[in-house]
């Protein structure tokens, strides 16, 4: 988080707020979002698909007409595709060869092909702007007495993935918001 905040604050140089134009210079912030989506895709099981013809998937015969679910959560944590798969390392995306636009099939938090999420561009812009604003304007602290090692990162599965126990952070204003004219 500190590296993303430093990038933001260096780039914005005291501006009163983050704008869309600022996002192009925030490469590390984009890496953080990709890594977050790899480990915690919003929807763990993508929309079901029906096999149009009999095929083999990972050595299994799949008959025509079978409904298949793609597990984006498991794909993002597969050690065959990711070195140190369980660790949060945004730098793994620095090469730029893996993106979430559906062409890298080991990383498809928005799906791929004809059924790819139509709101991907909107979602990406919103994630970047909201995260950039939160990191720019605030420093974030754990509640008094809490240590990072004590955080319970247990997930709860449902239609979406969420933490079983909420994460409570305390915002500390760093760059005050200014009212619009």
Q: Is 51 annotated as a binding residue?
A: no
Find out whether 107 and 76 touch, Cβ atoms under 8 Å. Answer: yes
Helix H or strand E segment including 80: none
Find out whether 154 and 164 touch, Cβ atoms under 8 Å. Answer: yes
CA distance 13 to 100: 30
Closest CA to 117 of 106, 102, 105: 102
CA distance 1 to 48: 35
CA distance 94 to 139: 25
At residue 156, the 3 state secondary structure works out as strand
Known binding-site residues for heme equal 117
Known binding-site residues equal 117
């Amino acid at each position: 988080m500190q590296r993303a905040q430093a990038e933001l604050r260096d780039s914005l140089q005291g501006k009163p707020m983050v704008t869309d134009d600022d996002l192009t210079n925030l490469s590390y912030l984009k890496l953080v979002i990709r890594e977050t989506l790899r480990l915690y895709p919003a929807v763990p099981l993508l929309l079901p698909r029906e096999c149009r013809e009999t095929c083999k998937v990972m050595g299994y015969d799949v008959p025509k007409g079978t409904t298949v679910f793609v597990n984006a959560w498991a794909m993002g944590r597969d050690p065959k595709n990711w070195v140190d798969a369980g660790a949060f390392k945004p730098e793994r995306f620095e090469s730029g060869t893996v993106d979430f636009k559906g062409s890298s099939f080991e990383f498809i938090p928005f799906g791929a092909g004809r059924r790819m999420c139509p709101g991907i561009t909107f979602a990406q812009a919103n994630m970047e702007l909201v995260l950039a604003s939160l990191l720019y304007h605030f420093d974030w602290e754990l509640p008094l007495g809490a240590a990072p090692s004590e955080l319970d990162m247990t997930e709860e599965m449902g239609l979406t993935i969420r933490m079983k126990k909420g994460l409570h952070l305390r915002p500390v204003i760093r760059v005050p918001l200014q009212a619009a004219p």
